[in-house]
Structure 1
Amino acid sequence: MEFSITTLALLVLTPLLVWRIYSRIKKQMQRQRSIGSRHYTGVLVFGAMILVPLTQLFDTPYNLAALLVGAGGGIGYAVWGLKLTRFEETPQGYFFTPPARLGLVMSMILVARLLYIGIEVYANQGKGIPTQQLTDSPLTMLCVGITAGYFGYYSAALLRWRRRVRKAIDQV
C-alpha cells in the first residue's frame, strides 16, 4: 500500500486539527458573560442549520426523520444542560457557566461527522465517484439536528433567562 505525500500530510494534520478544535471549544465552555446579541445570533444560525436542510428533505423521508429526531434529541439534551448550567446576576452583568462535557460532546459530534465527510471526499478523489450532498446522508442529518437543536434551544433559553431577570429587576 503506497501513501502519497498528501495522504501522509492528511494523516498527520487531522489529529492536530481535531485537537485545536477541541481546545477552542473547551475554552468556550467556561464561565462567560451573557451577551444578548450572541444569543440572538445563536438562535438564528442554529435555527437556519435546521430550516435550510429541512427545505431540501421533503422528498427523502429517512433524512427528514433523521434531522427532526436529531433536533428533538438536541433540544432534550439542551433542557438537561440548562438544569446543569449555573446562572449568575452580578453588578458586573449576567454570567452563565454551561456544562462543559455536554457542550463539547454536542460540538464534536458535528465536527467528527464533517471530518469524516472531508476524508471520504479526499479518498474518492479521482475515482469518478460523485460527491454526495450534505443532505444525502441520514447520519449527517442526525448530527446536524442534534448539534443545531442543542445550541439553538440553549441560546433561546438564555434569552428567556435574561428577559426574566430584567423583568424582575424592573419590578423592584
Structure 2
Amino acid sequence: MPFLIIPLLLIAMLVLWLVLLPLSLWQRYRYGKARRMARPWLVTFNAWGLLLSVIVFFVISAISEVWWPASLSYAAAGAGIGVIVGGLGLAITRFDITPQGLFYRPNPWLTLALTLLIAGRIVMGFVQVYRQWPGGEAERFLAALDHASLLSVAGLLLGYYLAYAWGLRWRLTRLARLLR
C-alpha cells in the first residue's frame, strides 16, 4: 500500500506544476516590466552573478559536446543573439530620475516577447515528447529533448540578461557622474 503513494505523489506534483506554470509565466511577465529602483550595488552583484552563470553555461555546453554534437555552437549562437537583444532592450528602457532615486522600467513588449519565447519552448518540448512517445524507445524519447532549441533559448536568455545587466551597470555609473 505505501508503494502506491509514491506514484500518486509524483502525479500530484506533475499536475501542480502544470497548474502553476501559467501563473509563474504571468508573474515573470509582471515582474519583468515593473518599475524598479536602480540600486548600484544590486546591479553590480547581478552583473557579476550573470557572468559566472554564463561561464558555467558555456562549460556545461562544451562538456555536452560528447553527447550532443554542436551544442556549444548552438549555445554561442543563442548567447550572441541574446547580447544583441539585450543591447536593444537597454536602449529602449525608460529611466526616471526622482527625488527618491533613479528608477528604470524595461520595455513591456520585449519582456512579453521573452516570456512568450519561454512559453513557446515549454510547449515545443511537450509537443516533441508527445510525437516521440508512441515509439516506446528510450533513444526516441531522448531525441525529444532537442538540444538545438534548448541551448539556443537558454543562451539567448543568458546573453540578454548579461548584456542588460552590464549595460545597466555602465549606464548607472554614467548617470551617477552626471547627477553629481
What TM-score, normalized to structure 2?
Answer: 0.70
Do structure 1's residue 17 and structure 2's residue 17 form an aligned pair? no
Please give the alpha-carbon distance, in whole angstroms, between the structure 1 residues aligned to 2:115 and 2:51.
15
Superposed CA offset, 1:31-90 (max 9, x none): 221122332233233323321131133362511111111111111111221222111122
What is the aligned length?
159
Aligned pairs for 1:92-111 within 5 A: 92-110=100-118
Q: Counterpart of 2:25 in structure 1: which amino acid?
A: Y
Asked if the contact 2:25/2:119 (under 8 Å) is kept, the reply is no
Is 1:75 the counterpart of 2:83? The answer is: yes
For residues 80-136 of structure 1, the C-alpha deviation after alignment (integer angstroms, 9 at most, x for no partner) is 21222111122110111101121233245346546738x95xx98xx783896xx98
Q: TM-score, normalised by structure 1?
A: 0.73
Contact 2:89 2:107 (C-alpha < 8 Å) held by counterparts:
yes
Q: 3-state SS of the aligned residue for 2:62?
A: coil
Q: What RMSD over aligned residues (CA atoms) do the two structures have, in Å?
A: 3.4
Partner of 1:90: 98
Give the Cα separation in 1 of the matches to 2:96 and 2:166: 17
* Kept in 2: contact 1:22–1:104 (CA 8 A): no
Question: How many angstroms apart in 2 are the aligned matches of 1:48 and 1:106?
Answer: 22
SS in 1 for 2:138: coil
Once the two structures are TM-superposed, the CA of residue 26 in structure 1 deviates from its matched residue by 2.3
Give the match's secondary structure for 1:30: coil
CA 1:104–1:71 in structure 2 vs 1: closer, same or farther (change >3 Å)?
same
Ranges in structure 2 where 5+ consecutive residues have no aligned partner: 1-6
SS of equivalent residue, structure 1 residue 88: strand
Identity rate of aligned residues, in percent? Answer: 19
List aligned pairs for 1:11-50, cutoff 5 A: 14=18, 16-28=19-31, 29-50=33-54
